[in-house]
Amino acid sequence: MFLSISSKGWTTTMGFRCNLIAFALLMFSSSVIADDSFVLFKQKQVLTLEWKTYELENNEVIALYGGKSRKFLTDTIYWGEAGYGALSGKRSGYLEGGVFLGNLQTVGPCLLDSRLFFGAGGGGGATKDGMLIHATVGIGAHVNTSFFSVFELGYLKFIQGNIESITMGFTINRLFWKLTTRG
């Protein structure tokens, strides 16, 4: 009987049923938590603020600022995406964006970073824009356990145009770990 007339009978019946429901919920939740399919994974990631400069056509120098997000596949190899906008020069609407693959090594107190970027750039009245490839190498150092900075040199080539230039850049980077579950 679900409810009895007397308050003592109702309390006993309801107390037993509440305990039974609580026990069933506890058993269900512990089986979910103890299940091997619930595993916590961590992935090393780096967020980057970057400033870089290079020459467009006719010796016009452009400076860009932007950001990158790196997701590490191994301890040293990473991939990611980046976007940049013009900071100085005549090309106020000039943008770049793309994806990259790189390698970040620790050698003694220094960091060595090499990367190959593939994307597109243009706008801001630039006469030659389109697909670009940009290779960089950099040397840097840790500021503390979470932050590091890198000075980069590179070479940029617009695939369809005549823009080819040496690049220089400076990055400030924040290392963190992304936690995810699978299962």
Residue 160 lies in a domain: yes
Residue 99 lies in a domain: yes
> Encoding tokens for residue 168?
């220089």
Residue 1 lies in a domain: no
Does 52 lie in the same domain as 31?
Answer: no
Does 75 lie in the same domain as 24?
Answer: no
Q: What is the pLDDT along the chain (183 residues), one digit of tens a residue?
A: 444 444 454 445 556 676 667 666 655 554 445 455 668 888 899 999 999 999 887 788 889 999 999 999 999 999 999 999 998 777 778 899 999 999 999 999 999 999 999 999 888 766 667 899 999 999 999 999 999 999 999 999 988 877 899 999 999 999 998 888 775
CATH number reported for the structural domain that contains residue 61 in this entry: 2.40.160.20
Tell which phi-psi region holds residue 59, choosing left (phi > 0), alpha (psi between -120 and 50) or beta.
left
Count of structural domains, the chain: 2
Full domain range(s) for residue 16: 7-35
CA distance 60 to 91: 10
pLDDT at 18: 64
Residue 49 lies in a domain: yes
Does 173 lie in the same domain as 126?
Answer: yes
pLDDT at 90: 77
Which 3 state secondary structure label does DSSP give 76?
coil
Does 115 lie in the same domain as 98?
Answer: yes
Does 83 lie in the same domain as 58?
Answer: yes
Does 98 lie in the same domain as 24?
Answer: no
Does 73 lie in the same domain as 59?
Answer: yes
Does 96 lie in the same domain as 22?
Answer: no
Does 114 lie in the same domain as 27?
Answer: no
CA distance 106 to 92: 37
Does 142 lie in the same domain as 169?
Answer: yes
